[in-house]
Amino acid sequence: MGDTASMLLSLIPLVLIFVVMYFLLIRPQRKKDKEQQQMRNNLEVGDEVVTIGGIIGMVVSLKEDNVVIETAGERNKIRIKRWAIQSNETVHDAEEEAAKALKAEKAEKRAAKKDKNAD
C-alpha cells in the first residue's frame, strides 16, 4: 500500500508540469490561432494585407480559399491561399469606433477619478 501511495506522489509533479505547460504554451497558441483564422475569414476587398512571405498588397478578390492581391509598384496581381496571409493592416470602421469608445471611456474614468481626488 505504501508503494502505491509513493508512486502516486511521484506522478503529481509530472501532472503539474503538464498543467503548467498547457496554460503557458498550448492555450495561448490556440487563442492566437483562433484570432488569425477569424482575421482571415473577415477579409474584405480593399484590405491591405501582409503575406507570410512579406509581400504587401491590397485584396482585389476573394474566392473560398483563394485571395487575389494587387501589389503596389507595377500593380501585379498575385493569387494566394488565405492561410498565407499573416496580417490585415486595414483598420475597419467598427474597430475604429471601438477604439474611440475605449479612449472616451478611459478619459471619463480619469475625469471622475480627478473629481473624486479633488473633493
> Do residues 2 and 38 both lie within one domain?
yes
The answer to whether the beta carbons of residues 69 and 58 sit under 8 Å apart is: yes
Phi, psi of 91 (to 5 degrees): -100, 120
Which pLDDT score, from 0 to 100, does residue 107 have?
84
> Do residues 80 and 97 both lie within one domain?
no
Domain count, the chain: 3
CA 1 to chain centroid, in Å, comes to: 50
Domain range spanning residue 15?
A: 1-42
> Do residues 65 and 96 both lie within one domain?
no
The answer to whether the beta carbons of residues 43 and 59 sit under 8 Å apart is: yes
Q: Given pLDDT bands bounded at 50, 70 and 90, which one contains residue 96?
A: low
| pTM (predicted TM-score) | 0.60
Q: Given pLDDT bands bounded at 50, 70 and 90, which one contains residue 14?
A: very high
Q: How many angstroms separate the CA atoms of 116 and 109, rounded?
A: 10
Q: What is the pLDDT of residues 35-90, one digit of tens each?
A: 999 999 999 999 999 999 999 999 999 999 999 999 988 889 999 999 999 999 98
> Do residues 99 and 70 both lie within one domain?
no
Q: What is the CATH number of the domain that holds 70?
A: 2.30.30
Q: How many angstroms separate the CA atoms of 110 and 104, rounded?
A: 10
Residue with cell 492566437: 32
